[in-house]
Amino acid sequence: MSADSRETTSPTRDDFPVMRRITTRWSDEDVYGHVNNVTYYSYFDTAVNGYLIDATGTDIRRLDAIGLVVETSCRFKRELGFPDDVEVGLAVEKLGNSSIVYEIGLFQGASPEPAAIGRFVHVYVTRESREVTPVPDAIRTAVAPLVRA
């Protein structure tokens, strides 16, 4: 999906190969009665890293190469609220040599349309020197099924 088409069309639940459930917390809501915008980014991080841990069967924090978030963005479509769970859709827009670009959809309730659409970019670096390095094989294998054609 090109950047131009992302601006005019929204993905639906069916566009995400993996869905993960996150339970909202009382503290996620702000004084305006909806999940605060900064919390959406926490959901992105939790869903991506939770998926990587589950799919690789390892604690990704202990790998020689670690994924650092170098870019995030979010297009807010409608509010999320407590106490309803959030379903997080994960897809990979690009699997590069040393980076992964995720598209993330946040869904709540029965709507096929996301409440928010996120972009989340990991760049892999060596744990010690923080030099850019290839995506570890375990991570590459885990995210390959999420790559959009």
At 47-106, the pLDDT tens digits run 999 999 999 999 999 999 999 999 999 999 999 999 999 999 999 999 999 999 999 999
Architecture of the domain made up of 3-146: Roll (3.10)
Q: Three-state SS across 42-83?
A: HHHHHHHHHHHHHHHCCCHHHCCEEEEEEEEEEEECCCCCCC
Of 83, 105, 84, 101, whose CA–CA distance to 92 is shortest? Answer: 101
Per-residue pLDDT tens digits for 20-53: 999 999 999 999 999 999 999 999 999 999 999 9
Residue with tokens 């509010």: 79
pTM confidence score: 0.91
Q: What is the pLDDT of residue 10?
A: 85
DSSP E strand stretches across the chain: 18-22, 65-76, 86-95, 99-107, 116-126
Evaluate whether 45 touches 102 at the Cβ level (below 8 Å).
no
Closest by alpha carbon to 94, among 46, 140, 42? 140
